[in-house]
Amino acid sequence: MSPPVLEIKNLHKRFGKLEVLKGIDLTMEKGDVVSLIGSSGSGKTTLLRCVNLLEEYEDGVVAVAGEQIGYKLKNERRIRLSEKEIARQRSMTGMAFQHFNLFPHMSAIRNVMLGLIKTRGMTKDEAYAIAEKWLDRVGMLARKDHYPGQISGGQQQRVAIARAIAMNPQLMLFDEVTSALDPELVNEVLAVIQDLAKDGMTMLLVTHEMQFARDVSTKVIFMQDGQIGEEGPPKQLFKNPKTERLAAFLKNSK
């Protein structure tokens, strides 16, 4: 049997004296879509960022496709991998952020091609063909030669998602990808993510969009003070919250 796409065991993370992740466990198989919900400051983004080592973690295991991210164990001691190894591991996951981080001086298609050429070693022609395919998939092919400043926030985010997915990651990480958008642009981005989920893409998301989390997820995790407060299939979690905290959170999120 192949290892899980993502396996997190007893993950601990501190910022100085503040312990923000207090022993998180999460296993994701291929095609799983897991949404992290919860109050601001509960540790959702930090958890997501530990998966590709944008944040270092002090204790526990984070493994993608069976490979521990960032460290290896030698004689029971944790040894940090080389930067080259970590860069290779990072490319097993793709990430889309709240702020899309496109290069402003490059057209949409050049933004998508860049990683394919630099990291995957493709020729320009190969990268162009793959970039076209993914821009088409997110509905941005007609604007492939536009610069980020010439398209809307929702369109920029769709290009950023195409750029991450074109790299063929095993797991996609989405960090509040709609929270910087004007309300009328949110749905076009959510529709793209939903479409990718239907196609079997494995995804871990931080979101404030409860209806979306309900529709798209195979599992929802309610984060509470650095721990998993409650977790389960979305129908169960949203309909029958077991704790007062989740019930109150859901009430306030509507």
Which residue ranges make up the site for ligand ADP (CB under 6 A)? 15, 20, 38, 40-46, 223
We find the least distance from the C-beta atom of residue 127 to ligand ADP, in angstroms, to be: 33
Which contiguous run of DSSP H or E holds residue 166?
none
Give the span between the Cα atoms of 154 and 185, in whole angstroms. 5
We find the least distance from the C-beta atom of residue 235 to ligand ADP, in angstroms, to be: 23
Q: Is 8 helix (H, G, I), strand (E, B) or coil?
A: strand
State how far the alpha carbon of 30 is from the alpha carbons of 118, 194, 200, 247, in Å.
Answer: 27, 16, 7, 30
The residue (of 46 and 217) whose beta carbon lies closer to ligand ADP is: 46
The residue (of 40 and 82) whose beta carbon lies closer to ligand ADP is: 40
What is the DSSP secondary structure assignment for residue 254, as one 8-state letter?
A: -
Q: Which phi and psi (to 5°) does residue 27 adopt?
A: -120, 130
Tokens of 89: 């591991």
The residue (of 98 and 101) whose beta carbon lies closer to ligand ADP is: 98
The residue (of 27 and 39) whose beta carbon lies closer to ligand ADP is: 39
We find the least distance from the C-beta atom of residue 18 to ligand ADP, in angstroms, to be: 6
Strands 33-37 and 219-224: parallel
We find the least distance from the C-beta atom of residue 207 to ligand ADP, in angstroms, to be: 11
